Amino acid sequence: MTVHTPHPDLPPPTLSVGVLGWLRSNLFSSPLHTLLSLFAIYLVYLTVPPIISWVFLDSTWVGDTREACSGTTGACWVFVKVRMNQFMYGFFPESEYWRINLAFGLLIVLAIPLFIKKFQHKGKLAIFILVFYPIITFQLFSGGNFGLTPVETSKWGGLSLTLILAGVGIVASLPIGIVLALGRRSEMPIVRSVCVVFIEFWRGVPLITVLFMSSVMLPLFLPEGTNFDKLLRAMIGIALFQSAYMAEVVRGGLAAIPKGQYEAAEALGLSYWKSMGLIILPQALKLVIPGIVNTFIALFKDTTLVLIIGLFDLLAIIQQAFADPDWLGFSIEGYVFAASIFWIFCFSMSRYSMALEKKLHTGHAR
């Protein structure tokens, strides 16, 4: 008697596994897909190799003058390299660069414990970062005390100015926005109408108008001789503008909290502020993290608008460099550099928000 031995399983057809199989099922599964895939590959072939050779293969990295780039067809990164300090620090005196480095270095050092799970005093540290750190940074930037040479705000610029504007906007707009959102849902008519008018006013005007008003009209109305710093005017404008948007984002979160939560808080006998602080806001803010981060990213990019009032943020200082007669004609390199810096910052912000959402995720998702 022969024992039946099952035939060993045949391997799947070579065309359905591995690279070939993936290609067949994803790119060439039907005539239409094949056509579209071929077209897409053709587009990639048309665009990517020239970009790579412009950015890397044919580009010039060494040298200090325009002459180093003569004869190359690729990008002239020498332009960016020569001006790198200016792009980062603006017109800040070179001997004082350490102050900016210290300010941002301090922020990184202070922020690290916030990411360590076992660290106990996160709340205290966060308050320190939000309240005292800005004061330290301001002292470092403007100087005047503790034996530091004063540096006027007109010398601030480059990426450091962009980060300051965005930082001030972010730090100021979140608390103001929360207060406004609570005010808008308040039952007190005066508080409510003040908040509604404030929010609708600032949402109704474009940021560019706000900046123009702050830099062109405001000085005319102030008494002669009161020179209220241009950067400060811009910062206030940006902070008020963004807090109106933030208020609406937070209000969305407040509206999403079921009525039962409010009633439960009341039933426990909690005061208004306690019920908001302990029950409603923690849930509401968690819900709207994507919206908040979205507003922050928009704010970060909106800071470039200050270039129309003659403040040299990253983009403006790069554009200013195009006017140097020794470096005419390198605008593409400059813009590509600016775009990549902005992309890095915005992309990291969005990644951070995704991580935060995951961490705070406590089973509300449907």
Residues that bind other proteins (CB under 8 A): 82-83, 85-86, 90-91, 94, 152, 154-155, 212, 215-217, 219-222, 224-225, 227, 307-310, 312, 316, 319-326, 328-329, 331
Structure tokens at 129: 């970062």
Any bridge partners for residue 158, and if so which? 313
Return the number of the residue (5 or 226) whose C-beta is nearest other proteins: 226
- Closest CB 144 distance from other proteins, rounded Å: 16
- Closest CB 53 distance from other proteins, rounded Å: 17
- Closest CB 93 distance from other proteins, rounded Å: 8
- Closest CB 102 distance from other proteins, rounded Å: 20
318 contacts 62 by C-beta, under 8 angstroms: no
141 contacts 99 by C-beta, under 8 angstroms: yes
Return the number of the residue (262 or 322) whose C-beta is nearest other proteins: 322
How far from each other are the two terminal CA atoms of the chain, in whole angstroms?
Answer: 60
Give me the half-sphere count of Cα atoms (radius 13 Å) on the Cβ side of residue 207: 24
How many Å apart are CA 20 and CA 14, to the nearest integer? Answer: 8
- Closest CB 202 distance from other proteins, rounded Å: 22
Return the number of the residue (155 or 286) whose C-beta is nearest other proteins: 155
Q: What single DSSP character describes residue 9? A: P
DSSP calls for 239-284: HHHHHHHHHHHHHHHHHHS-HHHHHHHHHTT--HHHHIIIIIHHHH
Residues in CB range of 16: below 8 A, 6 or more apart: 24, 25
- Closest CB 86 distance from other proteins, rounded Å: 6
Structure tokens at 157: 């610029």
- Closest CB 77 distance from other proteins, rounded Å: 14
Return the number of the residue (265 or 307) whose C-beta is nearest other proteins: 307
- Closest CB 47 distance from other proteins, rounded Å: 18
Return the number of the residue (73 or 348) whose C-beta is nearest other proteins: 73
- Closest CB 214 distance from other proteins, rounded Å: 10
Give me the half-sphere count of Cα atoms (radius 13 Å) on the Cβ side of residue 108: 6
Nearest CA to 285 out of 145, 159, 182 is that of 182
Return the number of the residue (284 or 309) whose C-beta is nearest other proteins: 309
Angle of the 158-184 helix axis to the 314-322 helix axis, nearest 10 = 140
Return the number of the residue (37 or 319) whose C-beta is nearest other proteins: 319
DSSP calls for 136-181: HHHHHHH--STTPPP--GGG--HHHHHHHHHHHHHHHHHHHHHHHH
Return the number of the residue (51 or 256) whose C-beta is nearest other proteins: 51
Nearest CA to 297 out of 187, 166, 123 is that of 166
Is residue 313 classed as helix, strand or coil in its secondary structure? strand
CA 31 centroid distance within chain: 43
Return the number of the residue (211 or 281) whose C-beta is nearest other proteins: 211
